[in-house]
């Protein structure tokens, strides 16, 4: 039996930099082939915060076009329940009313050269939930999944905030995939926030020889060990380069996964890697980064790889969450009502009191 759908809902609306407002708006109407979803949880991530503060590279400047629009409902890490859909949507996605579902943050066109080559996560004219007007996000009571969306079912037994962690976890796993880990690799992960913790769990699941976590917060380093790190080093206290060199017969790490978004972590990674090592960059930076490129070329001949979104890693992320291997109660530190969205943004901005902050629209 389908649930009653109200006419109005509460939603966070982006009016511009530092101007998000909780408003009452109409519940969205699904179109043919779409699904209407009642949102159960939505995470707040660093890119949400950067857009909130109106960083030029997000609202547009001469260097880079804007990809965050105003008058949009934010939120791209989410899960919810299907409340309404037609036969076309049900058959396409294999879902039914009542199922808990999530959708990948990118909504591809399926027609550009990247989509046609299977690189849908790099779709040229793509939409993004929570950043584009055509695809409003999940900081609301309800949302719709458009026809082009990628949709996955996820266990209804997980707490909503845990299930919504599938988005950052899939991103972290994609970064691990980009590194092409081998059994003999020593892997260094910079940052023990949501992405870094996912990288640690992913690297451990690949049976790398050694996974080393770096951070400055003792409580996050302790959490990193629970996620699979063999060694957790405090960059403010430990001689990280000496320790890594000593563990690798003086060569250096095989792989460095960067998940902090801090410029200093880039040079740190280049220095920690051995010759012919692999550097994977996932973070979105708030400012330009300058490094000695001779390290990449003349000194070490490094493979420097980017990682964007979580292409093809959502099923693995869902499986990992459902397995119970991650300490999700400690990762999902804060769940707040939608009305406290500002507190949630501030917690993420501080970075000292929380790991993963989620809003619970209900």
Angle between helices 314-323 and 166-179 (to 10 degrees): 120
CA distances from 102 to 230, 240, 282, 314, 345 (A): 32, 39, 22, 10, 22
pLDDT tens-digit readout, 107-128:
999 999 999 999 999 999 999 9
Task: For CATH 3.90.180.10, list the domain ranges present in the chain.
Answer: 8-153+327-360
pLDDT tens-digit readout, 52-69:
887 534 444 444 445 578
Q: Which two tokens stand for residue 161?
A: 């905030």
pLDDT tens-digit readout, 62-111:
444 455 788 899 999 999 999 999 999 999 999 999 999 999 999 999 99
Q: What is the predicted pLDDT for the residue at 168?
A: 97
What is the value of pTM for the model shown? Answer: 0.95
DSSP string over 262-328: -THHHHHHHHHEEEEEEEEE----SS-----HHIIIIIT--EEEE--TTTT-HHHHHHHHHHT-S-H
Please state which CATH number belongs to domain 8-153+327-360.
3.90.180.10
What's the mean pLDDT in 130-134? 90
What is the SS3 assignment for 68-107? Answer: CCCCECCCCEEEEEEEEECHHHHHHHCCCCCCEEEECCEE
Q: What is the predicted pLDDT for the residue at 3?
A: 83
Task: For CATH 3.40.50.720, list the domain ranges present in the chain.
Answer: 178-306
The per-residue pLDDT of the chain, averaged, comes to: 94
pLDDT above 90: percentage of residues in the chain: 86
pLDDT tens-digit readout, 226-285:
999 999 999 999 999 999 999 999 999 999 999 999 999 999 999 999 999 999 999 988
What's the mean pLDDT in 173-196? 97
Q: What is the predicted pLDDT for the residue at 234?
A: 98
Q: Which two tokens stand for residue 251?
A: 């060569």
pLDDT tens-digit readout, 293-317:
999 999 999 999 999 999 999 999 9
Alpha helices, DSSP H, located in the chain: 46-52, 56-59, 87-93, 113-116, 160-164, 166-179, 194-205, 218-226, 240-247, 264-272, 293-294, 314-323, 328-331, 341-350
Q: What is the predicted pLDDT for the residue at 108?
A: 98
Q: Are strands 186-190 and 356-360 parallel, antiparallel or unpaired?
A: unpaired
Looking at 13-22, 33-42, 184-193, which range is the least confident one?
A: 13-22
Please state which CATH number belongs to domain 178-306.
3.40.50.720
């Amino acid at each position: 039996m389908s649930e009653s759908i109200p006419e109005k809902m509460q939603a966070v609306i982006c009016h511009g930099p530092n101007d998000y407002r909780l408003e009452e708006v109409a519940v969205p109407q699904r179109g043919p082939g779409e699904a209407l979803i009642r949102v159960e949880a939505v995470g707040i991530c660093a890119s949400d915060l950067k857009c909130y503060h109106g960083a030029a590279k997000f609202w547009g400047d001469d260097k880079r076009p804007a990809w965050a629009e105003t008058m949009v409902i934010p939120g791209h890490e989410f899960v919810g329940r299907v409340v309404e859909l037609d036969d076309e949507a049900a058959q396409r996605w294999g879902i039914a009313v009542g199922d808990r579902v999530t959708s990948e943050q990118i909504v591809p066109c399926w027609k550009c050269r990247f989509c046609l080559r299977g690189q849908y996560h790099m779709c040229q004219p793509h939409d993004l939930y929570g950043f584009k007007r055509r695809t409003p996000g999940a900081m609301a009571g309800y949302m719709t999944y458009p026809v082009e969306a990628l949709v996955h079912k996820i266990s209804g037994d997980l707490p909503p905030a845990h299930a919504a962690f599938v988005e950052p976890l899939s991103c972290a796993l994609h970064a691990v995939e980009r590194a092409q880990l081998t059994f003999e690799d020593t892997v260094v992960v910079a940052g023990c926030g949501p992405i870094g913790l996912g990288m640690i769990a992913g690297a451990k699941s690949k049976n790398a020889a050694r996974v080393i976590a770096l951070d400055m917060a003792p409580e996050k380093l302790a959490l990193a060990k629970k996620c699979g790190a063999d060694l957790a080093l405090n960059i403010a206290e430990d001689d990280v380069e000496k320790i890594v060199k000593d563990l690798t017969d003086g060569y250096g790490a095989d792989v460095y996964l960067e998940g902090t978004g801090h410029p200093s972590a880039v040079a740190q990674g280049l220095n920690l890697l051995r010759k012919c090592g692999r550097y994977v960059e996932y973070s979105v930076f708030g400012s330009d980064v300058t490094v000695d490129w001779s390290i990449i070329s003349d000194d070490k001949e490094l493979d420097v790889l980017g990682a964007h979104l979580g292409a093809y890693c959502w099923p693995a992320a869902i499986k990992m969450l459902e397995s119970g291997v991650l300490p999700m109660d400690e990762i999902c530190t804060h769940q707040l009502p939608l009305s406290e969205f500002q507190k949630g943004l501030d917690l993420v901005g501080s970075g000292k009191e929380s790991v993963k902050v989620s809003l619970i629209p209900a």
